[in-house]
Amino acid sequence: MKISASLRVFFSTFILSLFAFGFSFAEEVESSDLLPTDEIVIPEILLDAGGDKIPSAGLEKKYVGLYFSASWCGPCRKFTPKLIEFRNKYAEEFEVILVGGDGSEKAQANYMKKYAMPWLAMKNQSIEAKHASKVSGVEYIPFLVILDQGGNIITKNGKSDLSKLGDEAFEFWKDL
């Protein structure tokens, strides 16, 4: 049986694609297997809007809001200024980390710059960012998960709490 050249190219590409996908998937599974299954892991290095690497040290003394958001999301763009104002008011005790849903690091950085986000971000599409999303059960954005000073999730309803309670949300979270 004779196989045409185009069919051979197709099958060769298909087989190589399966191998490449399998390899990258296995690599991701192995990396994520090192993370605790029920805990958020804040990377030791976070990124600012310019892409500079900044140590995450010092966050353990603060409440942290993991902000799952993306530049293409209309409700995110509407909520972001409210979160910036809230974060700035409570910056001594509260910090935000962006867990971006944009398709690239450049898009995430542009989003941070456009809105003058005063916080840092997890590397776009990193193992830690994907893990945080999975552990938090993120199904939609914007989504705000609040962690206590020990890194434990105290609520997954941060956006709703902030929208309903305004400035009183912080005291509410501290009481949880």
Predicted confidence band of residue 18 (pLDDT cuts 50, 70, 90): very low
Please choose, from the candidates 101, 49, 97, 48, the residue with its C-alpha nearest in 3D space to the C-alpha of residue 73.
101
Alpha-carbon distance of 65 to 85, in angstroms, equals: 13
Is 39 part of a structural domain of the chain? no
Is 18 part of a structural domain of the chain? yes
Please tell me whether residues 141 and 167 are part of one structural domain. Answer: yes
3-class secondary-structure state, position 1: coil
Please tell me whether residues 29 and 65 are part of one structural domain. Answer: no
The domain of 25 spans 1-34
Please tell me whether residues 29 and 57 are part of one structural domain. Answer: no
3-class secondary-structure state, position 52: coil
Is 125 part of a structural domain of the chain? yes
Give the residue-averaged pLDDT of 11-32. 38
Look at the block and give the residue holding tokens 């040290």.
Answer: 57
Predicted confidence at residue 33, as pLDDT, reads 61
Please tell me whether residues 67 and 142 are part of one structural domain. Answer: yes
Predicted confidence at residue 10, as pLDDT, reads 40
Q: What are phi and psi of 40, to 5 degrees?
A: -80, 140
pLDDT over threshold 80, residue 20: no
Please tell me whether residues 55 and 4 are part of one structural domain. Answer: no
What is the percentage of the chain residues whose pLDDT exceeds 70? 80
Sheet holding 120-121, edge to edge: 53-55, 45-47, 120-121, 94-100, 63-69, 143-147, 153-155
Task: Return the exposure string of 71-99: e unless at least 16 CB atoms fall within 10 Å of the residue's CB, then b.
Answer: bebeebbebbeebbebbeebeeebbbbbb
Alpha-carbon distance of 122 to 64, in angstroms, equals: 13
Average model confidence (pLDDT) for the chain?
85
Is 49 part of a structural domain of the chain? yes
Give the residue-averaged pLDDT of 95-99. 98
**Using an 8 Å Cβ cutoff, are 156 and 68 in contact?**
no
Please tell me whether residues 23 and 70 are part of one structural domain. Answer: no
Quote the number of domains for the chain: 2
Is 40 part of a structural domain of the chain? no
Give the residue-averaged pLDDT of 24-39. 56
Please tell me whether residues 13 and 62 are part of one structural domain. Answer: no
The domain that contains 76 carries what CATH number?
A: 3.40.30.10
Report pLDDT digits (tens) over 55-81: 999 898 999 999 999 999 999 999 999
Is 169 part of a structural domain of the chain? yes
Please tell me whether residues 6 and 73 are part of one structural domain. Answer: no
Report pLDDT digits (tens) over 102-159: 999 999 999 999 999 999 999 999 999 999 999 999 999 999 999 999 999 999 999 9
